[in-house]
Chain A
Amino acid sequence: MSEATAPGTLLLSVQDVTVRFGALTALSAVSLEIRRGEIVAIIGPNGAGKTTLLNVISGFYQPDAGRIVFDGQDRTRLRPPDVAALGIARTFQNVALFKGMSVLDNLMTGRLMKMRSHFLLDAVYWGPARREELRHRKFVEGIIDFLEIQAIRKMPAGKLPYGLQKRVELGRALAAEPTLLLLDEPMAGMNVEEKEDMSRFILDVNGEFGTTIALIEHDMGVVMDISDRVAVLDYGRKIADGPPEQVRKDQAVLDAYLGTAHE
C-alpha cells in the first residue's frame, strides 16, 4: 500500500461548497473532509441539505461555488459517470433498482464500469466476452455470498420486500468496487432486525474491503454505533463535525434537534 492510499490519509475534501436552487440556498459554504477507511455519518433535521451534499459529491449537482477534491484531483465539474469511474458509488434514499430484472442482473449492472469487451463480441457471447462475463459473475457471486442473498438471486428485484431491495442496492454499489461508498438513508423504513443486519453489513464492508463510507441516517442509535465521525448539517450549514460522543453533547446540535429558536 503506497503512502497515498494508506488508511487515514485524505480521500475526499469538500471545500466551501455552496449550492443554490433559485432563491433557496441548500448548502452554504460547507466543508467536509473524509479520510480513507472512515465511516462518516451526515446527520441533520429534514431539509438540512444532507442529500444535496451527497448529490454534489456524486456529481448529480454542480456546486455554485467551492471545490471538490477526490484522491488528490480536483473533480468539481465532473458528471456522474465520470465520478463513478473514479470509484465513487452510491445508493438512493428511494430505492433505485431495475425492478423487472433479477437481483443477479441488477448486481451485474454494477459491473458495467468494469466491462471492456466489444458489444459485438458480447452479442455472440464468445471469446473474451465470455471470459469477461464469467469473471464478473464470479465477483458478483462473492457479493451475493457476502450479503447473504443467495435465496433471492433469481428473483425480480421489484418483487422483494423493501429491506431486501435496500440490501440489493448496496450490493450493486459494491459491485463497482468503490473506493468511496455513499449511502443515502440505508436504513429508512426498516424494522429493528433489518437495521441490525444492515449495520453489520456496513461495518463488514468497511472492515473486509477497507471501503470508505459516507452515510446519511436518521436513526441516532445506529449513527452513534457505527460511525467513526459525525458531521451535522442544519439549514445548509455545517454546525458540528467530530467523534459521535463529542457531537452528541454539542450545544449547537442539541439546539438544532430540540428546536431552539434560530435567529
Chain B
Amino acid sequence: MDVANDAAYDTFPKLARANAERLAGKIAMREKDFGIWQATTWREYFEQGRLIALGLAALGFRRGDKVAIIGDNRPQLYWAVLATQALGGVPVPLYQDSIEKEMEYILDHAEARFAVVEDQEQVDKLMHVRPRCPKLEHVIYDDVRGMRGYSEPWLMSLAELQEAGRKFEVGHPTHFDDELARGRADDTAIICYTSGTTGVPKGAMLTHRNLIVTARNAAAAERLRVDDEILSYLPMAWVGDHIFSYAQSIVTGFAINCPESTATVLHDLKEIGPTYFFAPPRIWESLLTSVMVRIEDSAWLKRKVVQFFLDLAQGMERQRLMGRPVTAAQRLLYPLGALLVYGPLKDNLGLRRVRLAYTAGEAIGPEIFVFFRGLGVNVKQLYGMTESSVFVTIQRDGDVRLDTVGTPLPGVEIKISPEGEVLFRSPGVFAGYYRNPEATAQMVQDGWMRSGDAGFLDAAGHLKIIDRAKDLSRLATGTIFAPKYIENKLKFSPYVKEAVCIGQDRPYVTALVNIDLAAVGNWAERRNIAYTSYTDLSQKPEVYDLIQQEVDRVNGSLLEDEVLKGAQIRKFLILHKELDPDDEEITRTRKVRRGYIAQKYATLIEALYGDRDRVQVEARVTYEDGRVGMVRADVHIREATGRAPGAR
C-alpha cells in the first residue's frame, strides 16, 4: 500500500490540512512556557503554518527555495517547516549549537534564501556569517527578547511575518491553497545535513514519499496511536527528530511536547510522561548514571533493597533475551520489586507510561539495555540512518535480543556485501546528497545503499551489527579488534563518559578514557578527595584505581567471548579534558571521530605503546564563542590487569 500515491495526501502540508479538519481540536503540540504547558491544536498548527507561508510568499518566496531552521525544539519552528513545505520550499534544519564556521558552510552550501531562527543568539551568529552567505536574504526570529536594538532591514519577527502574511492574503486569497496543491510526493521535503564523522557535512535530500511511507510503515508495525505523546527534545537538525516529532506526528496525529529549556528536559520528561520515547544511547546512559549516583548516596538498607531488586530484574531480562525460561521464584518476586523499586523508579524518570521506546544512533551498552528492559520499559533497538529516513530494522515486540538490531521493516530488503558490509534497499532511501553527486554515487553499490557498517543476518533473520565497516580491524597479532564494542562496555560504568580504544595494527589494545565529571566528582567528594578542576580530578591516583576496576571488568567480560578475548585492554590513560564537539573530537551527535583523535593525541597514543608511565601534553581547546585556549597537563599511564589468554 503506497498511500503517498493519493494526490490528496502525498505531502506533509496536505496531511496536516487533513489533520486540521479531521482532528481539529485535538492537541498537536505543547510547549512549556511561563511554567505552563501551552497547547496548540491541529487546527491552530495548520493555521499558524499557513500564516507563516503567506508571510514568506509576501517576501517573494519561490518554489524550491531553501529555508534554514535554527533553534531549540519550538512549535514555531515546526510551523516554519510546515510553511516552507507548503510553498514547495525545502527546510534545512541546522544544529542550534553550531559555531559560526559550521553554520556558514551549510547556509552557503544549501543556498538558503531564508532563515527562521529561535532568538537573538542565532540572529547574532547569522549577522556575522551573512556577509559570506550572499544568498541569505531574510532572517526571521521568533523570540523578540533582546532584539529592540536591531534595525537591519533583512530582519523581521515571526509575528511581523505572519502579519505581512495576513495582508498578502487579501490580495492573493487562493495563493496558499494553489501552492499547497502543487506539491508532489517526489518533491524534496527536507535536507538534513549529516554531521559526518569524516569530512565536510553532506546534505541528504529526503522526499515526501520517502518520509511518509517510512513513517507510516513504522507507525503501523509498532501500532502507534493518535493519543500517543512524545517529548521533542533532540536537535531538529537530526533526522530522527524530524521523523518522530514531525513526520510520524503528522502521519498518525499524536502530540509532541517541547521542553521549557534544554536544562529542564529531565524534569519536563517527568511531567509529560510520554508513551513513545526516543533516546540515543547517551541519554539512556545519563539516565542510568543519575539513578546510580542517587542509589550510592542513599542509606545502607535502601541501597541493599534497591540493588537486590535491580539484580533480580536484570537477571530475568537476560534470561528472556537469551530465550531461557525465568524461574518461579523470580516470577514471584518481580511484582514485589515492581511495587517497591521499578514502579517508583520509572515514575521518577518519567518513563512510567512508555509503551514504546527506541535507542539508536550507535550501539547501546548491553548492560544499559538490560537495565531499562528489566524495569519494564519497552526499549528496543532500531537501526537506520539519515539516508534511509531512519528506519531500516527494528526489534519487534516479543522478539527482542541483546545482540541484534532486529528485523527489516516492511518494504526493506537487506543483503551483505562480500566484504561484510550491510547493504539495503527501501522506500525510505534518499534522493541523493544536495549538490554532491560524487558522494551520492559512493553510497550506492549496484542499486543497493551502503550502510558503512559491518554485520550479518543471523539464522532467524535478525541483523547483527559488529562495528563500522572501516573501524573493524585487526591487531598486529591478527586478532579481530572491534573498538566500539569495547568502548560501549567501558561506557556502561557510570564513571566513564567516553572512551576511545586503539589497536589497529598495534601489538595490543589501549584505551583513552573520559571520566564523567558528575559521577566521579560525587564519588571523590564522598571519599574526601579534594580536586580543583576536571584535569586535576582526572589524574588522581584514586581515580585511576577506580577506572582500573572498570577496565578489569571489561577485560573479564571480553575473556568470555571466543572471538574477542585476544583483544583485551592492556594499557589505558584518563584524558585530561573532555572530548568536545567544539574541538571537533566528537560530532554534535556525540560520535567519536577516531581519525581526528588519533592525530590530535598522537603523543599520548605513542606513550601507551612505549614504556613510560606518564606523558606531558598540551591541548588546544575551542570555546563556544570560537576563541582558542591551551590546556597543559601531566597524563599518567596505567597498565590493566588483563589476563591475555595463552600469553601469561
- Establish whether residues B34 and A138, one from each chain, have CB atoms under 8 Å apart when the complex forms: yes
Instruction: Output the nearest chain A residue to B33 by Cβ-Cβ distance.
Output: A145
Q: Which residues of A contact B264 (CB under 8 A)?
A: 150-151
Q: Which residues of B contact A142 (CB under 8 A)?
A: 34
Instruction: Output the nearest chain A residue to B267 by Cβ-Cβ distance.
Output: A151
Q: Which residues of A contact B527 (CB under 8 A)?
A: none
Contact of B35 among A153, A200, A204 (CB under 8 A): A153
- Establish whether residues A208 and B145, one from each chain, have CB atoms under 8 Å apart when the complex forms: yes
Q: How far is the CB of A139 from chain B (nearest CB, A)?
A: 10
Q: Which residues of B contact A150 (CB under 8 A)?
A: 32, 35, 260-261, 263-264
- Establish whether residues B149 and A144, one from each chain, have CB atoms under 8 Å apart when the complex forms: no
Whether A141 sits at the interface, judged by CB under 8 Å, is yes
Number of interchain pairs (Cβ within 8 Å): 33
- Establish whether residues B148 and A145, one from each chain, have CB atoms under 8 Å apart when the complex forms: no
Whether B595 sits at the interface, judged by CB under 8 Å, is no
- Establish whether residues A207 and B148, one from each chain, have CB atoms under 8 Å apart when the complex forms: yes
Q: Which residues of A contact B35 (CB under 8 A)?
A: 137, 141, 144, 150, 153
Question: Number of contacting residues on A, CB 8 A?
Answer: 15
- Establish whether residues B34 and A148, one from each chain, have CB atoms under 8 Å apart when the complex forms: no
B-side interface size class: 10 to 19
Q: Which residues of B contact A257 (CB under 8 A)?
A: none
Whether B146 sits at the interface, judged by CB under 8 Å, is yes
Interface string of B27-49 (1 = CB under 8 A from A): 00000111110000000000000
Whether A146 sits at the interface, judged by CB under 8 Å, is yes
Known: A150-B260, A151-B264. A207 touches B34 (CB 8 A): no
Instruction: Output the nearest chain A residue to B261 by Cβ-Cβ distance.
Output: A150
CA distance A144 to B72 in the complex (A): 18
CA distance A150 to B32 in the complex (A): 10
CA distance A205 to B224 in the complex (A): 46
Known: A151-B261, A151-B264. A146 touches B145 (CB 8 A): yes
CA distance A200 to B119 in the complex (A): 14
Contact of B149 among A137, A153, A207 (CB under 8 A): A207
Instruction: Output the nearest chain B residue to A151 by Cβ-Cβ distance.
Output: B263
CA distance A86 to B118 in the complex (A): 37
- Establish whether residues A148 and B261, one from each chain, have CB atoms under 8 Å apart when the complex forms: yes
CA distance A207 to B260 in the complex (A): 24
Interface string of A128-169 (1 = CB under 8 A from B): 000000000110011011101011010000000000000000
Q: How far is the CB of A234 from chain B (nearest CB, A)?
A: 34
Q: How far is the CB of B266 from chain A (nearest CB, A)?
A: 9
- Establish whether residues A204 and B261, one from each chain, have CB atoms under 8 Å apart when the complex forms: no
Interface string of B402-436 (1 = CB under 8 A from A): 00000000000000000000000000000000000
Interface string of B141-157 (1 = CB under 8 A from A): 00001101100000000
Instruction: Output the nearest chain A residue to B259 by Cβ-Cβ distance.
Output: A150
- Establish whether residues B145 and A204, one from each chain, have CB atoms under 8 Å apart when the complex forms: yes
Q: Which residues of A contact B148 (CB under 8 A)?
A: 207-208
Q: List residues 129-165 of chain B with CB under 8 A from any CB of chain A.
A: 145-146, 148-149
Instruction: Output the nearest chain A residue to B148 by Cβ-Cβ distance.
Output: A207
Q: Which residues of A contact B32 (CB under 8 A)?
A: 150
Q: How far is the CB of A148 from chain B (nearest CB, A)?
A: 7
Q: Which residues of A contact B34 (CB under 8 A)?
A: 138, 141-142, 144-145
Q: Which residues of B contact A204 (CB under 8 A)?
A: 145-146
Instruction: Output the nearest chain B residue to A145 by Cβ-Cβ distance.
Output: B34
Interface string of B241-263 (1 = CB under 8 A from A): 00000000000000000001101
Interface string of B556-582 (1 = CB under 8 A from A): 000000000000000000000000000
Interface string of A198-235 (1 = CB under 8 A from B): 00100010011000000000000000000000000000
CA distance A216 to B263 in the complex (A): 31
CA distance A151 to B36 in the complex (A): 13
Q: How far is the CB of B72 from chain A (nearest CB, A)?
A: 12
CA distance A244 to B388 in the complex (A): 59
Q: Which residues of B contact A146 (CB under 8 A)?
A: 145
Instruction: Output the nearest chain B residue to A146 by Cβ-Cβ distance.
Output: B145
Q: Which residues of A contact B261 (CB under 8 A)?
A: 148, 150-151
CA distance A259 to B145 in the complex (A): 43
Interface centre among B35, B149, B261, B264 (most CB of A within 10 A): B35
CA distance A213 to B570 in the complex (A): 62
Q: List residues 29-45 of chain A with CB under 8 A from any CB of chain B.
A: none
Instruction: Output the nearest chain B residue to A153 by Cβ-Cβ distance.
Output: B35
CA distance A138 to B34 in the complex (A): 7
Q: How far is the CB of B524 from chain A (nearest CB, A)?
A: 18
* 9 CB < 8 A contacts A-B: A141-B34, A150-B260, A150-B263, A151-B264, A153-B35, A200-B146, A207-B146, A207-B148, A208-B148
Closest CB pairs A-B (n = 5): A151-B263, A141-B34, A141-B35, A151-B264, A150-B260
Binding site for B on A (CB under 8 A): 137-138, 141-142, 144-146, 148, 150-151, 153, 200, 204, 207-208
Kindly list 9 other residue pairs between chains A and B, CB separation below 8 angstroms, not including A150-B260, A150-B264, A200-B146.
Answer: A138-B34, A141-B34, A141-B36, A142-B34, A148-B261, A150-B261, A151-B264, A153-B35, A208-B145
